[in-house]
Structure 1
Amino acid sequence: MAPEREKSTSAPSGTTDDAPIDERDQAASETISLPPHVAGSGTLDRLVDTARGYAEASAAKNTNKAYAADWKHFARWCRLKGTDPLPPSPQMIGLYVADLATPTGNTPALSVATIERRLSGLSWNYAQRGFTLARKDRHIATVLAGIRRKHARPPVQKEAILPEDILAMVATLPFDLRGLRDRAILLIGYAGGLRRSEIVSLDVHKDDTPDSGGWIEILDGRDGGGTLLTLDAKTGWREVEIGRGSSEQSCPVHALEQWLHFAKIDFGPVFVRCSRDGTRAMETRLSDKHVARLVKQTVLDAGIRADLPEKERLALFSGHSLRAGLASSAEVDERYVQKHLGHVSAEMTRRYQRRRDRFRVNLTRAAGL
Structure 2
Amino acid sequence: MIKEYKSGTSTTQDGSDAITLPSHVAGSGTQDRLVDTARVYAHAAASDNTLKAYARDWAHFARWCRMKGAEPLPPSPEMIGLYLADLASPSDPSPALSVSTIERRLSGLAWNYAQRGFALDRKNRHIATVLAGIKRKHARPPVQKEAILRDDILAMVATLPYDLRGLRDRAILLLGYAGGLRRSEIVSLDVHKDDTPDSGGWIEIMDKGALLTLNAKTGWREVEIGRGSSDQTCPVHALEQGLHFAKKDFGPVFVSTARDGKTALDARLSDKHVARLIKQTALDARLSDKHVARLIKQTVLDAGIRSDLPEKDRIALFSGHSLRAGLVSSAEVDERYVQKHLGHASAEMTRRYQRRPDRFRVNLTKAARL
Is the TM-score greater than 0.5? yes
Deviation at 1:361, TM superposition (A): 1.7
In structure 1, distance between residues paired with 2:42 and 2:189: 22
In structure 1, distance between residues paired with 2:362 and 2:99: 33
Please show how residues 107-186 of structure 1 align to structure 2 within 5 Å: 107-186=94-173
Q: Secondary structure at the match of 1:150?
A: helix
Amino acid at match of 1:72: A
Q: Secondary structure at the match of 2:259?
A: coil
Alignment RMSD, CA only?
1.5
In structure 2, distance between residues paired with 1:63 and 1:212: 16
More moved, 32-41 vs 89-98: 32-41
In structure 1, distance between residues paired with 2:225 and 2:39: 37
Question: What is the TM-score of this pair, normalised by structure 1?
Answer: 0.90
Q: Secondary structure at the match of 1:276?
A: coil
More moved, 356-365 vs 124-133: 356-365
Deviation at 1:47, TM superposition (A): 2.2
1:277 aligns with 2:260: yes
In structure 2, distance between residues paired with 1:184 and 1:131: 46
For 1:289, the equivalent position in structure 2 comes to 290
For 2:214, the equivalent position in structure 1 comes to 231
1:79 aligns with 2:66: yes
1:255 aligns with 2:242: no
Deviation at 1:158, TM superposition (A): 1.0
Deviation at 1:368, TM superposition (A): 5.3
For 1:12, the equivalent position in structure 2 comes to none
Gaps of at least 5 residues in structure 1 are 1-19
In structure 1, distance between residues paired with 2:51 and 2:367: 50
Amino acid at match of 1:99: D
For 2:81, the equivalent position in structure 1 comes to 94
Q: Secondary structure at the match of 1:185?
A: helix
For 2:186, the equivalent position in structure 1 comes to 199
Deviation at 1:292, TM superposition (A): 1.3
1:268 aligns with 2:251: yes
The number of residues matched between the two structures is 346
Deviation at 1:21, TM superposition (A): 7.1
1:52 aligns with 2:39: yes
Deviation at 1:22, TM superposition (A): 4.1
Task: Quickly say closer, same or farther: Cα 1:299–1:104, change in 2 above 3 A.
Answer: farther
For 2:281, the equivalent position in structure 1 comes to none
1:51-95: CA deviations, max 9, x gaps? 211111101111111111111111111111111111111111111
1:21-62: CA deviations, max 9, x gaps? 742574212222222233333332222222211111101111
Amino acid at match of 2:300: V
Amino acid at match of 1:243: G
In structure 1, distance between residues paired with 2:253 and 2:190: 5
For 2:286, the equivalent position in structure 1 comes to none
Q: Secondary structure at the match of 2:345?
A: coil
Deviation at 1:366, TM superposition (A): 4.1
Q: Of the candidates 176, 179, 183, which is equivalent to residue 189 of structure 1?
A: 176
Deviation at 1:103, TM superposition (A): 3.9
Amino acid at match of 2:361: R
1:243-280: CA deviations, max 9, x gaps? 01111111000000000111100011101111121111
More moved, 239-248 vs 47-56: 47-56
Task: Quickly say closer, same or farther: Cα 1:229–1:22, change in 2 above 3 A.
Answer: closer
1:23 aligns with 2:10: no
1:329 aligns with 2:330: yes
Q: Of the candidates 225, 228, 231, which is equivalent to residue 245 of structure 1?
A: 228
Amino acid at match of 1:77: W
For 1:9, the equivalent position in structure 2 comes to none
Question: What is the TM-score of this pair, normalised by structure 2?
Answer: 0.90
Give the fraction of aligned pairs with identical amino acids, expressed as a percent: 81
For 2:30, the equivalent position in structure 1 comes to 43
Task: Quickly say closer, same or farther: Cα 1:210–1:21, change in 2 above 3 A.
Answer: closer
In structure 2, distance between residues paired with 1:367 and 1:107: 53
In structure 2, distance between residues paired with 1:150 and 1:62: 30
Gaps of at least 5 residues in structure 2 are 271-288
Deviation at 1:295, TM superposition (A): 1.1
